[in-house]
Structure 1
Amino acid sequence: MTTEASRAQDRGTSLWKPLVTILVIGFFFVGSLIVVVTFVVSSIGYSNNSQSCESGSPDNQAIGAVDDGLGVPEELHDEQLRNARIIDRTAAALGLSGQASRIAIIAAMGESSLINIDFGDEGQGVTNPDGSATTSKGLFQQQTSQGWGTVEQVTDPEHATKSFLLGPRHDGASRGLVTVSGWETGEITRVIHRVQRNSNANHYADSYGPAEKIIREAGIDVDRSADEEDQEEWRGTEARSPGDSAVAGGGTRGSVADLDGCSSDGGARAGVPGRTADGKNTYPWDAVTPAPGVYNVDPVRFFYGECTSYAAWKVNELMGGSPTDIIFDNNFGGHTKGNGGEWKSAWEASGWTVSTVPKVDSVAWWGPNGGAGVGAAGHVGWVDEITEDGRVIISEYNNSYYAPPGHKYSRRSVAIDPGQVGAYLYVPER
């Protein structure tokens, strides 16, 4: 996660994700009180988008949570009801259950207070993990610059709802709600986080109450059963072609693996089962790896014992290199890889394959604070194995959640859902 330039520790440090406070409406009277209604819009980052991810920060306040019992202006309340009904009709037309409507309404409440705003936090000093400006708009604060569509699309409530439910491609495979394993029964804020990738995975819990109030007022049946016949159209979407751009933690510019296979979670793509030829740790520099807090440059131009050093070694090894014959390093392909969180953009800039589909012997990538043990610098690991049910087993260095602190190897004993990884970076061809 750390490079010679930054020396940022890649463990569980918090990433402050600023909030943008926007005065949506001036003053209105409730009895003899003058009340200022303030909306707080959370930055979407890498498609909430950020993310990836994958990030501990002070809790973002859901816009809907500002309702303290005094009520909101009638015109805004009416819009909340109208947008909630659009979300519900869209989910029902796709054959999804009432729980999908509930989850989407809570997500929109947490992002925009169910108001279809045409702005986000641009111009407020908030940036994506790769340094680019955020472009969040609409009910779900989807970023136009991260593959979620045009301004017209992300501010069209029906289109934006389809994107949240089915993924940016509306295909049930490109990181929408239906690609999240166990989405109908999982903790709602965590399920939404897997799609939106807010800086705080618990952000949406504050919106449960306000959203349920709107759901009741709008007369929405959240106990509606799914209709599999209505799901056939989007579930039958053809596999993406290599020329398309994938969306994984905010979109990619590299090519996309065109792999078949759907998991039992309702559309999430699974990789081909298999494992590396040797499941043992092959990192060759443990003997010279320093203690925690000490950073020495290694032969692949990262720091010994960091996650980036290990992942770079594995790529180098797969490409036919050795400790004395380095093929892949920090500058290979003409683009510096940097911290773990920067690897995905470097892969894209080099035109290498970035995918949501796991592949044995590929780099597992997380954006800043994108998962357990992942800090503000992001993280990279290695896909050692894909199980028969499509789950992945990761090996890595310097993830304090799975190993003792400081430059230590770990191999996760429990396979994880592939969607828990921000993206998969395929090893480039020589």
Structure 2
Amino acid sequence: MQRKSLGLVALIVVPGTLIGLVFSILLLLAPAKPAAADCGPTASVVINGDTKVDGYSQEQLKNAAVILGAGKALDLSLRGQMISVMVSLGESGLRVLDYGDGPGPDSRGLFQQRDNGAWGSYADRMDPTISATSFIKALQKVEGWELLEPTLAGNKVQRNADPYHYEKYWPGAVKLVQALSDGEYSLEGNDCAIPGKAGAGDDYPWKDSPTWMQVGAGAAAASPLGMFYRECVDFALWRVNQQMGSTGEPFKFLNGNFRPDGQGLGSALTWKSGWDAKGWPTGSVPRVGAVVWYAPGAGGADPTYGHVAVVKEVKDDGTYVEEGYNGNPPPDDHNYYTRTVSNEIPSAFLYLPTQEEKK
């Protein structure tokens, strides 16, 4: 990894206890070339008259098989095939409908495509293969669609008023694709982003590395992400990379290349402005995998530099569980911690581009 220059910026402390200043390193790093997402092989359809899936009719199974076949013809990944089936489930229940609804009275077919010229003729929209092909081609034109949550990827094409409309149909789509295809597949363990599912406790890869307090504020204490080892910012940036499908060097998101304006992501103090500069969404509702941002003084954070952590679990009682580093009093300040926090305490939640705040 090439390091063009090295600079130091004072960073934060810990919520609840003022421990003193620690440091974050600003390394202007050569941007890493993003690795292509591996979202599973294209599934081949295996279906006959004896194929049965609990809860689904033969009509629905045949239409799902048509969608899978259209995806295979266009070399669509397994994840893309699942998204396509999910959207059809959410739009028509995997049925070729010859009617629309209130918002779209001219919608027709498996994907409820409108009569606006974008989806072909009436006959095209009522043809399962042609309508599925049209949807898949539109999906493939969405930049970064394989890194989006399935419901958000589908909504980029369908433009439903509720971007999370399709979320409840995802388990059914996975079930159908696995039942109708030539093998059992899992989206876990590959480089396709799975927001909110990355991480299992303290899986930070540099947990045994020396801190800047042990070896000095220099290159020996700098992680491959361009932050100091075992600081809150390094752990949070590791989680961002992990959820975006980048789990090994060269990492996709670094301190020195995160912001498009050439500035370093820097200390916790500047993470909110870094998110804004990158155009990534922020909000006030916790979502698993989102970065928790504490402005200076919020929730007991350092009055000058603030703090960042990551949402590990969202509860039904108005609280969430956060995880991070540098959140305990000494001598455990540079180790992993979790704690339960009220939703109102943080200053903001910084979402990945794969996430949006549910309104």
The TM-score normalised by the length of structure 2 is 0.42
The TM-score normalised by the length of structure 1 is 0.36
